[in-house]
Structure 1
Amino acid sequence: MKLVALVLAGTALVSTLGVSAQTLPNGIPAKFAPVTATFDYDRREVDVKMRDGVALHMILIVPKGAHDAPILFERTPYNADNATSKQDSAHAVMLVGPAFAEMLRAGYILAVEDVRGKYGSKGEYVNERPLIGPLNGSKVDHSTDAFDTIDWLTKHVPESNGRVGIVGTSYDGMMAAMALVHPHPALKAAAPMNPVINTWMGDDDFHGGAFRMAGYDYYFSQDTKRGSGDNLWRDAYDDYDTFLRAGSASGFVKSRGLDQIQVVKDLHDHPDYDAYWQAQALETILPREKATVPTLWIGSLWDQEDMYGAAAAYEATAKNDPDHLEHLAIGPWSHGGWAGTGDSLGPIRFQSDTGTWFRQHVLIPFLDSHLKTGAAPADIAPVTVFQTGSDVWQRLPTWPSACAQGCAQASRKLYLQAGGALSFTAPTTDGADEYVSDPAKPIPYRLRPIRPTYATGSTWRQWLVDDQRPFSDRTDVLTYETEPLTTPLALAGAPIADLVAATTGTDGDFVVKLIDVYPDEYFEKPDLGGYQLPIAMDILRGRYRESFSTPKPITSGAPLGYRFALPNVNHVFLPGHRIMVQIQSSWFPLYDRNPQTFVPNIFDAKPGDYRKATIRVFHAPAQASAIELPVVATGAAQ
């Protein structure tokens, strides 16, 4: 009764005040129009139709007041919207990363486009879609999509001068490289940064025929959804345990259902460097037509993902470059490090902000000279490379067979010797060292616990400069070392591992590390005393010792040659430092374990295939194992 009385009283009060009950208005306006008068840019979202009718999504950031401005263009599978909306701000430089903020300040219009089938773009996604040819019978590829988009940009961005430069890192670097195949006439410059050029020969998926299992994380996140995929789950904190318990690479794939992903199936079905991989090798495709676009290939000395691509593409295209359009820059960075400060990597410091220096003195002047109306030619050397050890930038005429004063490169053999010694003198007595390689206890490639590639606490970006002391005294690692150097020794190019070895198995891997050993006591930075800094490290799968396309069993017990190139270096071993070489037969779980028994496809190796093997590495007059060093004169001009 009291409740009824209160309701009646309320009704009477409304009537007395002459107020009638009414429906409340929608709190959200039908269309909200923000006032952006203070914004210093115009952000435009557009869908650009390709020649087959598929619409690709693109974001444009046009600085207000832009006129006769060049366009910097990037194509990506990593979400164009996120790349251009880092923060909510009235200032364009806050929307993008620091490197692209510098481009905006330099007067560029930015255009970022989702590739086919990813995020806002329509169509079907094919990871690393091959160019039109034997593997792609359609009429579209990343080259045609770049062409069609550039054509649209020249006609629909009135603030521009009609000149376009294409840039991108990693996968996006591959997109920049593919745009150079039958390029649009308005494409006036390209800067592929840490590009994927040949994923079997030394970029993401294989090195020396050994398979990189770290890629499974990437393919799970990238190829399971149109947008951003999830992280690949684990059942152990340490990846060493996770992959060892899975057995083979295929065992891990099946435990996660990764065989539903096409690229994972392709990796399994093409373990050798067969026609499938050869048809995609950009370092052989690009030189087939005369270059017309000035290109700056950008690489990193410690690139943990795409070590091969930039230098390989430059070396291939520069062989026939009468117009001198090809340029190369290499910095002391990890993957994509050109975009950061670059003053250090892990515990190693370079005494300067190498990233900012590179952008301000090389990258932006290069782009300006080709993209800005009336710009003067830039004073850019054919090759700009940072020399570690001396920590200086060098201007070189070519790479890798010359130095700044035009001196010829000389290969010097550093021979393995008895008692763990290294010397430029060939051995004079017969000898060999041996170790037992046990697939049940593979050598980790970095200190355990090893976190997944993209996990919190992962040291993935810096592991290539990790101290190698934890491995140098293992019984399954051979270690050789020079006496302390009395004069500096400079290298510029790719060292060559040239081993003579025998194994009791019928297959096996050989990992070779070239290391700079710091003095035992190091005044400049005491905690680096005795540090074993890797300069170049890589792997060869023994079945490919004669041919990457035709694997063969190893003749058990026979001394055979194993010759392969290590990654490019530009380094000075300083007086007081030592040169070290380490040799081993596993690098886990970065690379899948070699069962050391020849099987048709190592992806599918069975538990019984994994067997211990004794490896002998020879240092004898007729069987001299060595590292061929690309020695150059010291003191090259900056």
Structure 2
Amino acid sequence: MKKCLLILLAFSVALPAVSGAAVLKGRVLAAGSGRPVAKIQVGIASTQLPSKIKPYGKIPVRKIAVTDKNGEFLIETDQSCKDAFVFTQSLSHINRLSGNVPFCGREPRYRDLELDGVDALDLSQDAEIEFVLEPAIRSQRTVRIAMSDSTVLYSIVYLPPGNDSWPVLLWRTPYGASIRDFAAEFCQNGYAVVAQDIRGRYFSKGLWVMFRDDAWGENKDGYETAEWILKQEWCNGKIGTFGGSAVGITQLLLAPAAPPGLACQHVLFAGQDLYNQMVYQGGAFRKSLIEGWFKQQKFKPEAVDAVKGHPCYDEFWKGLNVNEKLGSIRAPILHIGGWFDLFTQGQLDSFSNIQASGGEGAKGRQKLIIGPWVHYAIGSRKQGELVFPANSLDPGPVMDQFCWFDYWLKGADTGIMKDPAVYYYVMGDVDDNKTPGNKWRTSDTWPVPAKATKLYLNRDGILAIDKPDKNSGVDTFFYSPSDPAPTKGGQELYQAMGPMDQRSVERRQDVLTYSTPALKEPVEVTGRIKARLFVSSTATDADFTAKLCDVYPDGRSMLLTDGILSAKYRNSFEKPEPLEPGKVYEIEIDLWSTSIVFNKGHKIRVAVSSSNFPRFEANPNTAVNSVYCSSGNPSCVILPVVPPAKAKTK
């Protein structure tokens, strides 16, 4: 970075004072050519800092201007701003702070104010400043990396300015390796980046078959790519991985392979057990998600056949389940997910299982952040049909990925490993700003301490803490595969997502609903939800679904989470067992997890059916299905209730 200072031409010139506010004028030029650079943000921040700050906390920006076609900008300051830090906020250059100082990233952090040479600008009078910026990416080149079976994988290497060696961040994707905008941010922060098309995608050779070659099997593409990186002169010996969704899956599947040099991972919105968390939840095919994704990405027929050809949990899926190889994982991982994400339980299980049972280097070194988000929607308050408070967007500096990477790859004391292991958002009544929910909380463990509380289904539609007192009670409905109950919101991707009002679905004859009376006090539920039902069917196989909803005083029934079980898999996902028509079976539906305070005056509702289409493929059997609600067959939902004294608010 010292070399960068030689080409910086920044200066401050006092101008005649103007009555009222001072005016800051300036321009931004390109290094080397001296040409003006348009559309660069320039900001100012007060020198008056909060008493308590975290080094990686972002400095609050008071005003921002954008350079015009001549590279010029103008900012009018108010009289309260006598001096300030001035800085560029380019997406594609090495940014600068007043005082001729380059800093890492797109926005200055409190730590940057301690860099040698940083100087506040006197704005008690008009002033001028000029910045000369160099590109964040010094070099971009294409390489083709041969795997041990001779399959060639297309990769792009992005290097930051200078001729040093750097920690390297690896991005392995089915969506195309051209990620210059992403790479620029990492190069700004002093990292080299390798982006790769995984096997069979875009410009890479071979056939893609459901991430099989990205794990620890016969082909270990991620492992061999890491080995190649370590041999390059621009790699300093440390590798991190980053990305979300499918790119997060390639990271998690790489973890048990434990390649040399892998020092940390940063995983967003991804599953680690692809049978249960992606393709066959509860043994039922996730039709909308998988068919929608395969169609969008134009996967080859062989890839589709491979997935549909393995409806049971078998060796194919064991090779795609990180839980099978927990002890082999060596890297710390920061896991980020959302309560309405299609991989919610995947992120939670990844954290808790590796935290408890990972190998040396991984065990006890995991972090988890989970907010009220649908898939990849961190930056939005609106989720589904609800608008959460502004605090839902960000739990603080812990969300800054460079806190994580700088700690593990640069040895910087970012403070992230001193923070609690878990940050989770407890949802609440979005119409009541005094609700005890809608807050970030922290914990050292997941799941958090909670009391497993059973609420029993009663024939009159009541959900109660007491068991039914009648010896007989059954609710029956007719299920037809030609008219399945429609999906409305939830943990989806290719249709409406997130919390949505379920009343239009609950009116159907094939949907049973059970609700508590209006709550007299708020009730917090945080953790995994299970529905334990006693059921029968006139068919040899039937599906049973369950939803957990928060019913507002105005009647809205807002979906929180849901689940399904194909009854033939009631004992094992490895071996289906047909039902005996008319026989009563006890089954358990996994609704995954949530965190919410049901507010005073709200109701807790459970809805039971045999379909949720097209979220799940409709069971082909026409049937009369029954749910039993009696003292002898006490169907219930099991909620992890958190006593108020147990909760730790951030």
Cα deviation, residue 562, structure 1 = 1.3
Cα deviation, residue 568, structure 1 = 1.2
CA distance in 2, matches of 1:101, 1:587: 43
Cα deviation, residue 69, structure 1 = 4.8
Contact residue 484 and residue 575 of structure 1 kept, 8 A = yes
CA distance in 2, matches of 1:40, 1:288: 39
Cα deviation, residue 65, structure 1 = 5.2
Q: 1:122 aligns with which of 205, 221, 244?
A: 205
Given residue 399 of structure 1, which amino acid in structure 2 is its aligned partner? W
Cα deviation, residue 35, structure 1 = 11
Contact residue 510 and residue 584 of structure 1 kept, 8 A = yes
Q: Aligned pair in 2 of structure 1 residues 630, 104: CA closer, same or farther (>3 Å)?
A: farther
Cα deviation, residue 185, structure 1 = 3.5
Aligned to 2:451: 410
CA distance in 2, matches of 1:547, 1:495: 19
3-state SS of paired residue (1:533) = strand
Does 1:207 find its partner at 2:281? yes
Q: Aligned pair in 2 of structure 1 residues 377, 163: CA closer, same or farther (>3 Å)?
A: farther
Q: 2:408 aligns with which of 370, 376, 399?
A: 370
Aligned to 2:98: none
Contact residue 356 and residue 364 of structure 2 kept, 8 A = no
Cα deviation, residue 364, structure 1 = 3.1
Aligned to 1:282: 322
Does 1:573 find its partner at 2:598? yes
1:314-364 C-alpha deviation (Å, 9 max, x unpaired): 232222257521222212111223xx4132212312212644546654543
Q: 2:462 aligns with which of 400, 403, 421?
A: 421
Between 1:432-441 and 1:372-381, the stretch displaced more is 372-381
Cα deviation, residue 368, structure 1 = 2.2
Q: 2:250 aligns with which of 175, 189, 193?
A: 175
Matches within 5 A, 1:550-629: 550-596=575-621, 611=622, 613-629=623-639
Normalising by structure 1, we get a TM-score of 0.73
Q: CA RMSD in A?
A: 2.8
Contact residue 137 and residue 187 of structure 2 kept, 8 A = no
Does 1:61 find its partner at 2:71? no
CA distance in 2, matches of 1:118, 1:35: 40
Q: 1:148 aligns with which of 227, 232, 239?
A: 227
Matches within 5 A, 1:297-376: 297-304=335-342, 306-321=343-358, 323-337=363-377, 340-352=378-390, 354-357=392-395, 361=399, 363-376=401-414
Aligned to 1:248: none
Does 1:544 find its partner at 2:569? yes
Aligned to 1:29: none
Given residue 533 of structure 1, which amino acid in structure 2 is its aligned partner? M
Cα deviation, residue 48, structure 1 = 4.5
Q: Aligned pair in 2 of structure 1 residues 507, 125: CA closer, same or farther (>3 Å)?
A: closer
Does 1:72 find its partner at 2:82? no
Does 1:488 find its partner at 2:522? yes
Does 1:42 find its partner at 2:173? no
Cα deviation, residue 544, structure 1 = 1.0
Contact residue 472 and residue 479 of structure 1 kept, 8 A = yes
CA distance in 1, matches of 2:631, 2:319: 42
Contact residue 543 and residue 554 of structure 1 kept, 8 A = yes
Cα deviation, residue 46, structure 1 = 2.7
CA distance in 1, matches of 2:34, 2:292: 43
Cα deviation, residue 77, structure 1 = 1.1
Cα deviation, residue 366, structure 1 = 2.2
Cα deviation, residue 123, structure 1 = 4.0
Q: Aligned pair in 2 of structure 1 residues 354, 503: CA closer, same or farther (>3 Å)?
A: same
Contact residue 161 and residue 373 of structure 1 kept, 8 A = no
CA distance in 2, matches of 1:66, 1:336: 35
Cα deviation, residue 469, structure 1 = 0.9
Contact residue 69 and residue 372 of structure 1 kept, 8 A = no
Cα deviation, residue 111, structure 1 = 2.8
Q: 2:486 aligns with which of 422, 425, 444?
A: 444
Between 1:577-586 and 1:555-564, the stretch displaced more is 555-564
Which stretches in structure 2 are left out of the alignment for 5+ residues? 1-32, 36-132, 429-436
Given residue 176 of structure 1, which amino acid in structure 2 is its aligned partner? Q
3-state SS of paired residue (2:156) = strand
CA distance in 2, matches of 1:625, 1:148: 54
Matches within 5 A, 1:159-198: 161-198=236-273
Given residue 258 of structure 2, which amino acid in structure 1 is its aligned partner? P
3-state SS of paired residue (1:156) = coil
Aligned to 1:385: 424
Q: Aligned pair in 2 of structure 1 residues 463, 486: CA closer, same or farther (>3 Å)?
A: same
Contact residue 473 and residue 479 of structure 1 kept, 8 A = no
Cα deviation, residue 265, structure 1 = 1.5
Contact residue 392 and residue 439 of structure 2 kept, 8 A = no
Normalising by structure 2, we get a TM-score of 0.72
Contact residue 138 and residue 162 of structure 2 kept, 8 A = no
Given residue 222 of structure 1, which amino acid in structure 2 is its aligned partner? Q
Select the structure that is richer in strand.
Answer: 2
3-state SS of paired residue (1:567) = strand
Between 1:463-472 and 1:47-56, the stretch displaced more is 47-56
Q: Aligned pair in 2 of structure 1 residues 435, 220: CA closer, same or farther (>3 Å)?
A: same
Between 1:502-511 and 1:37-46, the stretch displaced more is 37-46
Q: Aligned pair in 2 of structure 1 residues 424, 124: CA closer, same or farther (>3 Å)?
A: same
Q: 2:195 aligns with which of 112, 130, 133?
A: 112
Contact residue 534 and residue 635 of structure 2 kept, 8 A = yes
Matches within 5 A, 1:391-540: 391-400=438-447, 402=448, 408-429=449-470, 430-446=472-488, 460=495, 462-520=496-554, 530-540=555-565
1:591-625 C-alpha deviation (Å, 9 max, x unpaired): 222122xxxxxxxxxxxxxx2x2222111111101
Q: Aligned pair in 2 of structure 1 residues 342, 381: CA closer, same or farther (>3 Å)?
A: farther
Contact residue 286 and residue 616 of structure 2 kept, 8 A = yes
1:168-227 C-alpha deviation (Å, 9 max, x unpaired): 212211111122223234221111222232222122x111111122212322343547xx
Q: Aligned pair in 2 of structure 1 residues 619, 48: CA closer, same or farther (>3 Å)?
A: same
Contact residue 173 and residue 247 of structure 2 kept, 8 A = yes
3-state SS of paired residue (1:79) = coil
CA distance in 2, matches of 1:124, 1:269: 17
Given residue 545 of structure 1, which amino acid in structure 2 is its aligned partner? R
Q: Aligned pair in 2 of structure 1 residues 517, 363: CA closer, same or farther (>3 Å)?
A: farther
Which stretches in structure 1 are left out of the alignment for 5+ residues? 1-33, 85-94, 226-260, 403-407, 455-459, 521-529, 597-610
